Amino acid sequence: MEIKPVDEKSLTLKKLHPSWIGFKLFKSMRSLILFIIFVFMVLDISSNSIFSIYGFSLIGLFIVYQIGTTILEWKHFTYYLNGEELFINKGKFVTMKRYFPLENIQGINQNTSFFHRLLGLTSLLIDVGSSDKNTSIKLEMISLKEASNIKKTLSEFGNINVSKEEYTEEISDEELKGNSLDKNIHYEIELSEILIASLTSLRLLFFLTVLYTIYSELSQFFSIEEHVNKILNYFQSSVTMLSVGIVLLLVCSMVYGVLKTYLQYGGLKVTSDPYRIYIEKGKGSKTNFSIPKDKIQALSINSGFIHKVLNIVNVKLISSIDTDDQDVKASNVLFPFIERSKAFKLIPEVIPTIELSKNIVNIPKQSLFVKLLRTTYAWLLFPLVIYYFIPGFWYIALLIFVFTITSQILSGLFSGYALNESFLQLKKGSIATRMFVTKRDKIERLMMSQSMIQRKMGLASLKVTIRSRPTKVITIHDIPLQIALQCQSWYIEGKNFSTELTIPNKLQNNTNLYH
């Protein structure tokens, strides 16, 4: 990145919308609340305490500081974009100027929350391809027209492909010709998938939590306890009314789950061109996310207990793009909930460089003994301590015992691996299962280790570090020693395997991925 002086007076520097100040202050409410709790805990604040003056003074100073620094940050933040570079000036008390050549910019992601839509604004996150910690620039409150102009400039003079649909009406069809590549539509979410995902999630617990939170907040300002008790007594007056109340609660929770899932994932569409993957989603907050295919380091295919029974999986992208932006992290989900066989069919279409093996080799049965020995403290010692010192909570000790034993048995039954010429698949399973797929040249480090028990049983543990940001470490325990050595040789020496890994007959225990 080349730093060069610029006559800012000769440039038309642009600023974020003034509503960014209120948006930023609203987002900082959490830190304010935590600071107030800290002050109340450290200082004994009461009407008769001398510390109350100092406590409220600290809170007042903190609020003034937050408002002042936010205004300074908005005042100093300016940007300029031309056909050669992106210029950013930012800072609170000390400003910093940065220049980014357009050819180095690797991605642009757009997120339009409900608050943005009310004001006719949007947010852009630009991946500037920098090698330092700050790899992205966020333009959080800009107009839709300005966002379209930025995407148009990056598409014309940079390496970013923007489709016709991403431009607003101000940009003519003639300007678009030659600027966008044809996109293949791979997947569009169906309403049935949203319904199934909503009904199989734990939305009921979240719904009850939301109701309790609303009740707690309202009870601080209004006397609603008496009215709530009347409603509860009414539904508890008979078995029939109690049943009606339970049904109403379930219906409300299902409506809440479907609505929340629809607002979050409604309109989800996955498309791609030869170089990038594009993900669009959201009815409440709209997100347009794109990622270069060469930045994808691995895939994570996950399935919870209920989803595993229904043969549904969640597919996430593990990439080398480093960002602290929560919207982008959430957008790394390629398929939030999709039928397993459909996912395994679509993944090679979306990412042709990824190969999936349909057969996973289970870890050997003797691994169950090792897993149970490794977790003795959890299923034996801890329950015994609870039963001995707190005998009244014997049922908690029993639950811990049953849960730990069950999870270790399921881990031995559902964990496995697959290895071919270029790809490694590791599957870690118990009540929920997670499978990682990565390519050999995406692995930064592969380490093998053995405990004393594993050494006697002919087993080993494998730790794989993927070249992602942040670094992703995957560990699978209790695979055969011979397989661990072959994986190590496969990685270090780069041996070519023309077929699937051959397993000795006594260790063969193939499990089809679709079961």
Does residue 500 sit in the same domain as residue 393? yes
Beta strands 78-81 and 85-91, pairing class: antiparallel
Average pLDDT along the chain: 80
The whole domain housing 397 covers: 355-515
220 located within any domain: yes
Does residue 384 sit in the same domain as residue 261? no
182 located within any domain: no
Tell me the whole-structure pTM to 2 decimals: 0.74
pLDDT, residue 174, reads 41
| Direct distance between the N- and C-terminal alpha carbons of the chain, in angstroms, rounded to an integer | 51
Whether residue 18 is preceded by a cis peptide bond, meaning omega within 30 degrees of 0, is no
pLDDT at 269 over 90: yes
Boundary-marking domain end, from 243, 265, 287: 265
Boundary-marking domain end, from 265, 283, 304: 265
pLDDT at 456 over 50: yes
How far is the CA of 347 from the CAs of 192, 271, 330, in angstroms? 21, 12, 19
CATH number at residue 461: 2.30.29
Q: Which of 188, 163, 160 is nearest to 275 (CA)?
A: 160
Contact 507, 480 (CB under 8 A): yes
pLDDT, residue 342, reads 92
Q: Which of 108, 114, 21, 106 is nearest to 68 (CA)?
A: 21
Separation between Cα atoms, residue 166 and residue 280, nearest integer Å: 10
Contact 142, 122 (CB under 8 A): yes
Q: What mean pLDDT do residues 488-504 have?
A: 60
Contact 378, 404 (CB under 8 A): yes
pLDDT at 300 over 90: yes
Q: What mean pLDDT do residues 88-93 have?
A: 89
502 located within any domain: yes
Contact 38, 97 (CB under 8 A): no
- Mean pLDDT is lowest, of 221-230, 281-290, 363-372, 460-469, for 221-230
pLDDT, residue 71, reads 92
Separation between Cα atoms, residue 378 and residue 408, nearest integer Å: 11
Q: What mean pLDDT do residues 414-424 have?
A: 88
DSSP calls for 260-324: HHHHHHTT-EEEE-SSEEEEEE-SSSEEEEEEEGGGEEEEEEEE-HHHHHTTEEEEEEEES----
Instruction: Band the pLDDT of 185: cuts 50, 70, 90.
Output: very high
Boundary-marking domain end, from 265, 296, 326: 265
Does residue 416 sit in the same domain as residue 515? yes
Separation between Cα atoms, residue 189 and residue 196, nearest integer Å: 12
Separation between Cα atoms, residue 446 and residue 492, nearest integer Å: 8
pLDDT in tens, 314-339: 999 988 775 555 555 656 889 998 99
Does residue 247 sit in the same domain as residue 381? no
pLDDT at 460 over 90: yes
Instruction: Domain count for the chain, please give it.
Output: 2
Q: Is the dihedral of CA 196, 198, 199, 200 positive or negative?
A: positive
172 located within any domain: no
Which DSSP state fits 16? -
Name which residue leads in pLDDT, 46 or 73.
73
Instruction: For 71-87, give one letter per residue: b (16+ CB within 10 A) or e.
Output: eebbebbbbbbeeebbb
CA atoms within 13 A on the CB side of 115: 11
Instruction: Band the pLDDT of 178: cuts 50, 70, 90.
Output: very low
Contact 479, 464 (CB under 8 A): no
408 located within any domain: yes
159 located within any domain: no
Tokens 């209920």 belong to which residue? Answer: 306
165 located within any domain: no
Does residue 477 sit in the same domain as residue 368? yes
459 located within any domain: yes
pLDDT at 286 over 70: yes
Exposed, middle or buried: residue 336 (CB in 10 Å: 0-12, 13-18, 19+)?
buried
Name which residue leads in pLDDT, 395 or 509.
395
